[in-house]
Amino acid sequence: MKGPGTASSVRVVTLKINDHDVSARESESILEVARENGIRIPSLCQMDGLSIAGACRLCMVELKGSSRLLAGCATRVAEGMEVLTNTERLRKYRRMIVELLLAERNHVCSVCVSNGRCELQDLAFECGVDHVRFPYRSAVYQVDASHDWYRVDHNRCVLCLRCVRVCDEIEGAHTWDAMGRGINCQVVTDLKRPWGESDSCTGCGKCVQICPTGALVKHGTSAGEMEKDVHFLPYLSRMRHWE
């Protein structure tokens, strides 16, 4: 047996997710292993091929016998773990998180170009959010349509930071970043210049494709017309990280 730490020593562990026995590489996260085994854990900010943000907190899971929750995306599996992904407590929290997101900005689904193809909408459906108990904040947000091909509508942004990560980690342009604190946080292009005036943007459109909502979209789309395709990401990510 090879000692720990040697490059080829991939350790495999077994654990239980919702009472199913599963095996996993020690380096995998709970979320990854759950997906491999067809166990759905709602999530929003995590994407295969991007770094972990741990921002949406939807993929929180419970460990049997512990009241502390763990983020599925950011927690590695361990031998003998007993993970629960769908307890009543977790469902209640997820529902609230989605409600908070819907109340935070102005997600008017019926007139959104991503209507019917939106991950937030899907999550609301999945988590049984049939109404929002919190006051809608109704704050004013900008729409920046200055780019030749794309548009950012901050009314519909959920701050998953996927665009920030894909632009930095895959495209290498780092056009996007986050600005401001707390509820006033928002994504910006090039230190908050209009997108159309960005020097760093290559126009590759990866951010648009991986945006889960109608925040980043192509021009010339109307309600329900914006289709996105994220299949490029796992492939590009593998190629980028080829050693």
Partner 1 sequence: MHLDELADFAAEVRKEQQESKHCIRVCMAAGCQSSGAAAVLDGLKGQVDDDANVHVKGVGCMGLCAAGPLVEIESLEASSKTASSKTLYQKVTADDAEAIVDSLDAEPVERLRCSTDIPFFAWQKKVVLENSGIIDPEEIKEYIAADGYLGLVTALTELTPADVLREIKASGLRGRGGGGYLTGLKWSTVAKMPPGQKYVICNSDEGDPGAFMDRAVLESDPHRVLEGMVLAGYAVGADHGFVYIRAEYPLAIERLKKAIQQATRQGLLGKNICETRLSFDIEIRLGAGAFVCGEETALMASIEGSRGQPRPRPPYPAAYGLFGQPTLINNVETLANVPSIIRHGGDWFAAMGTERSKGTKVFALAGRIQNTGLIEVPMGITLRDIIETIGGGVPDGKTFKAVQTGGPSGGCIPEQFLDLPVDYDTLRDVGSIMGSGGMIVMDQSSSMVEVARYFMEFCMDESCGKCVPCRAGTDQMYHLLDKIVKEKATSRDLALLEELCDMVSATSLCGLGQTAPNPVLSTLRYFRQEYEEKLQDLAVAGSGQADLARADSSASETEETK
Partner 2 sequence: MMQQNRITVATTWLDGCSGCHMSLLDIDDRLFLLAEKVDFVYSPLVDAKQLPESVDVGIIEGSVSTDEDLHKAIEFRKRCKFLISLGDCAVSGNVPSMRNLFKLDDVLDRAYRENVQVNPQIPRDGVPKLLEKVQPLHGVVDVDLFVQGCPPSAEVIWNVLSELVAGRTPDPTKLTRFGA
Q: What is the binding site for partner 2 (CB under 8 A)?
A: 102, 106-112, 115-116, 118, 121, 124-125, 128, 130-133, 135-136, 138-140
Q: Choose between 12 and 179: whose C-beta lies nearer to partner 1.
A: 179
Cα distances (Å, whole numbers) of residue 230 to 23, 39, 72, 240, 243? 28, 21, 21, 16, 23
Q: Choose between 131 and 231: whose C-beta lies nearer to partner 2.
A: 131
Residue 52 binds which of partner 1, partner 2, none (CB < 5-8 A, kind-dependent): partner 1
137 binds partner 1 (CB under 8 A): yes
- Contact pick of 161, 208, 215, 233 for partner 1 (by CB under 8 A): 161
183 binds partner 1 (CB under 8 A): yes
- Contact pick of 92, 174, 219, 238 for partner 1 (by CB under 8 A): 92
Q: What is the smallest separation between the CB atom of 105 and partner 2, expressed in angstroms?
A: 11
Amino acid type, 84: L
Q: Which residues contact 124 (CB under 8 A, 6 or more apart)?
A: 98, 102
Q: What is the smallest separation between the CB atom of 49 and partner 1, expressed in angstroms?
A: 18
Contact call for residues 71 and 54 (beta carbons, < 8 A):
yes
Counting every residue written for the chain, the total comes to 243
Pairing of strands 150-153, 69-71: unpaired
**What is the C-alpha R_g of the chain?**
19
Per DSSP, 194 falls in state -
140 binds partner 1 (CB under 8 A): yes
Q: Choose between 28 and 122: whose C-beta lies nearer to partner 2.
A: 122
Q: Choose between 24 and 98: whose C-beta lies nearer to partner 2.
A: 98
HSE of 92 in the Cβ direction (CA atoms, 13 Å)?
4
